Amino acid sequence: MSYPLQVGITGGIGAGKSTVAAIFSCLGVPVYDADSHAKNVMTTDGILIAQIKKEFGNLTYDSRGNVDRNFLAGQVFGFPERLEKLNSLVHPKVAEDYRQWVSAQKHPYVLKEAALLYESGSYRQLDKIITVTAPEGLRIKRVMNRDHRTMQEVQSIIERQWPEKRRVDMADYIIANNEESAVIPQVLKIHRVFLELSVRK
């Protein structure tokens, strides 16, 4: 079976990776939103649901079978080993879901959008990586406005993520979403590159 060129897109919280991914989507590129698919898998995969309940308790799910995200966050926030355990249960299921999704795509290339692309190790299965960047102050302002979080809450999240430089150093392509450089021309340039690469793949 011939697979399309597989491209990852990531960035720190507030960098705007979803906005950039949406531009690619407007160009007809299939986009796999890892976060949305993870939420879906966590409520539809019976084995995973049982594993999560066993590890974190039945209160992880409400009466309708939805994940109680506040409860689960309380179980793992500030406990790196418990967060690692949750990720070790969820990430393999998302990886399998992604493989099935890719096999059904007909476009020359696809995008996998994931906040934890590097941290989860899933970048190793991809052909190219895009990192979306923005100054930390701007990222904090965006998340405060979007999620109604305090500055301290956003900074706490940033501190738990990989440093910007580390993501940039490992990326094949950088898109600056800093409100100074126009994003669409950057996307169009990379889009043309991927179309050419997919022909040679």
* Shared domain check, 110 and 26: yes
Number of structural domains found in the chain: 2
* Shared domain check, 188 and 119: yes
What tens digit of pLDDT does each residue of 89-139 get?
999 999 999 999 999 999 999 999 998 899 888 899 999 999 999 999 999
Domain final residue, candidates 54, 72, 96: 96
pTM attached to this predicted model:
0.89
| Residues 11, 14: Cα–Cα separation, whole Å | 8
The answer to whether 7 and 111 have CB atoms below 8 angstroms apart is yes
* Shared domain check, 164 and 128: yes
**Does residue 201 lie in a domain region?**
no
CATH code: domain of residue 146: 3.40.50.300
